[in-house]
Structure 1
Amino acid sequence: PIPPLEIQQEIVKILDAFTELNTELNTELNTELKARKKQYEYYQNMLLDFDDIDSNHKDAKEKLAQKTYPKRLKTLLQTLAPKGVEFRKLGEVCEIIRGKRVTKKEILDKGKYPVVSGGIGFMGYLNEYNREENTITIAQYGTAGFVNWQNQKFWANDVCFSVIPKETLINRYLYYVLTNMQNYLYSISNRSAIPYSISSNNIMQITIPIPPLEIQQEIVKILDQFSILTTDLLAGIPAEIKARKKQYEYYREKLLSFKPLQNKA
């Protein structure tokens, strides 16, 4: 279509303005997305940082008084762990269980239970499982050291470790501790060979804080709530960007749709 120049100019003006607004909004939304991620990481790190109040440190009690924990959490720490928080090796308080191998021929595109292997996503599906829901996994090969939370029954492949805590640990608390140590887990994996790998022995040597169970529960409660809010936001922002893009495409199509002139007989 070739409308008169004045109309072309007006269409360009409208679409340019819309493009500019759309770009600004996308930038703002992506900035908000990054800010929320950083905020979540900050709170997770703050809630799980017990290094200063290790019970082996003589000044743990004084350091605890200086900490900026949420009020209820700080009260619980001062009441239940006044001399500091105990640290122990993961192998002392958990079982690290390797999965069982399945071949590519056995893997299904569709099935009841996902197969967790050395990657971040699922390898495929099977109609049987060897691990219960709410299990922590650590990739042994591939994305070696990657920590994940499996919220459904699944099949753990032979390049996947399951971390099963004993009675002194709440599963979800341990998951948050390990994800907070994600970069450290990557650092203790063997990245000089392909594929990358991490040994169960290296994982078992990791030292983690083990506060009383009531304190673990409080931390899980706070981080679960924050995680839900963050997840909703992370889902909402891309959806908003997508909606704006559709809106722009709609108006562009409307502005550039012209009915052909009919020749009068």
Structure 2
Amino acid sequence: KEKAIAGGNMFLLTHNQNPKYLSYALSTHHAKLQKQKYAKEGAIVSISTNGLKKIKIPLPPLEIQKQISETLDVLRELVRELVRELETELKLRKKQYRYYLNKLISDVIEKGWGEYRTLGEIIETQKGFSFDNKKYSKTGLPIIKVLNVQNGQINTNELVFFNPEDYQRDLNKFILRKGEVCITTDGASSGKIAINNHDSNFYISASVCKLNAKKEIIPKYLYYSLLSKEKEIHKLIQGTAVMHLYPEDLKKLKIPLPPLEIQEQIANVLDRLRELCEDLEKEMPKEIELSKQRYKYYKELLIIGKR
């Protein structure tokens, strides 16, 4: 067995009980309530040796302690195994999605479904508006900044808002509507792409550029095409201290363009694969938390004996 050194904020317990059982017993809710009761308040909450000695735990015979510990070891390992399985499944789904993203877009040329077109031929770009950050508010109309463009989506967790009465001009051209595509153009996160899958509209800031699809291309296909070209887009970024992606450079990028019907089919397949990834990502925390709660329930039941 390896030796370890205990720090100043730790206790070494000398005992003749099953060490794993003691560890489990002292981590029950019942024991935690007692720790809180005997803890000393201060800059750092702590418990003294005398306080620790007052904590009462059920103490069955050593053989029973061993059985309980082994059962809880198995239950705890089941939680870890579930986490590993879910993480592996998510990686596989993302890998599958990325494979078909690249394959379906490249098939347009390889299978003769279409031809290369520059973005400048099939989209119009609209740089965002320079909102005054001193006029940001907690209510009003939502603004998208670089930090809101994450993982191909619009993240609404850190939105800022503005009051339209603070700006005496028409801001409609800066609206990102549902189904429309945008890309970040300034800073270290330049070149990130997102599509608005929300039911609400957003206003784009100066560091975000809206990509307005012309009649030759549907926005969803544009979105997936750009995701498949992320490496090429990154090469277009200029600057050292401050990075920039200039819309005029982006317009020179070429993407495969099939007929609208095939664009729709490709987008639908990729939508489904992306949704499978997103669904699992949303469910993972719930599944893991449920498994942890089951483990805690049985720990309390086996040690304290109460449901």
Q: Give the TM-score, by structure 2 length.
A: 0.68
The match for 2:72 is: 15
Aligned sequence identity (%): 33
CA distance in 1, matches of 2:142, 2:230: 23
Q: SS in structure 2 opposite 1:14? A: helix
CA distance in 2, matches of 1:39, 1:236: 19
The match for 2:300 is: 253
The 8 Å contact of residues 183 and 192 in structure 2, kept in 1 or not, is answered as yes
Shift of 1:2: 4.3
Shift of 1:154: 0.5
1:144 matches 2:190: yes
Can you give the 5+ residue segments of structure 1 that lack an aligned partner in the other structure?
Answer: 54-63, 65-76, 260-265
Shift of 1:190: 2.9
CA distance in 2, matches of 1:103, 1:252: 55
Q: SS in structure 2 opposite 1:40? A: helix
- Counterpart among 208, 211, 235 of residue 163 in structure 1: 211
Report matched runs for 1:42-121 at 5 Å: 42-50=99-107, 52-53=109-110, 64=111, 81=113, 85-111=114-140, 113-119=141-147, 120=149, 121=155
Report matched runs for 1:17-36 at 5 Å: 17-36=74-93
Letter in 2 for 1:253: E
- Counterpart among 235, 242, 259 of residue 187 in structure 1: 235
Shift of 1:9: 1.8
CA distance in 1, matches of 2:204, 2:258: 29
Bigger Cα Rg: 2
Runs of 4+ in 1 over 6 A off after TM superposition: none
- Counterpart among 98, 102, 122 of residue 41 in structure 1: 98
CA distance in 2, matches of 1:125, 1:258: 53
CA distance in 1, matches of 2:293, 2:58: 25
Deviation digits for residues 52-99 of structure 1, max 9, x if unmatched?
Answer: 53xxxxxxxxxx3xxxxxxxxxxxx6xxx4xxx221111121111101
Deviation digits for residues 24-67 of structure 1, max 9, x if unmatched?
Answer: 221111111100110111111111114753xxxxxxxxxx3xxx
Shift of 1:258: 5.9
Deviation digits for residues 116-148 of structure 1, max 9, x if unmatched?
Answer: 112234542335563132211101113100000
Q: Give the TM-score, by structure 1 length.
A: 0.78
Moved more, 28-37 or 232-241: 232-241
RMSD: 2.2
The match for 1:154 is: 202
CA distance in 2, matches of 1:216, 1:201: 24
The 8 Å contact of residues 183 and 191 in structure 2, kept in 1 or not, is answered as yes
> How many equivalent residue pairs?
229
Q: SS in structure 1 opposite 2:146? A: coil
Can you give the 5+ residue segments of structure 2 that lack an aligned partner in the other structure?
Answer: 1-56, 150-154, 165-171
- Counterpart among 93, 114, 124 of residue 160 in structure 2: 124
Deviation digits for residues 180-221 of structure 1, max 9, x if unmatched?
Answer: 222332232236224x32111221111111111111111122
CA distance in 2, matches of 1:51, 1:228: 23
Change in CA separation of 1:253 and 1:47 when aligned onto 2, cut-off 3 Å? same
The 8 Å contact of residues 146 and 185 in structure 1, kept in 2 or not, is answered as no
The match for 2:221 is: 173
Letter in 1 for 2:72: L
Letter in 2 for 1:126: F
Change in CA separation of 1:12 and 1:148 when aligned onto 2, cut-off 3 Å? same
Shift of 1:7: 2.9
The match for 1:135 is: 180
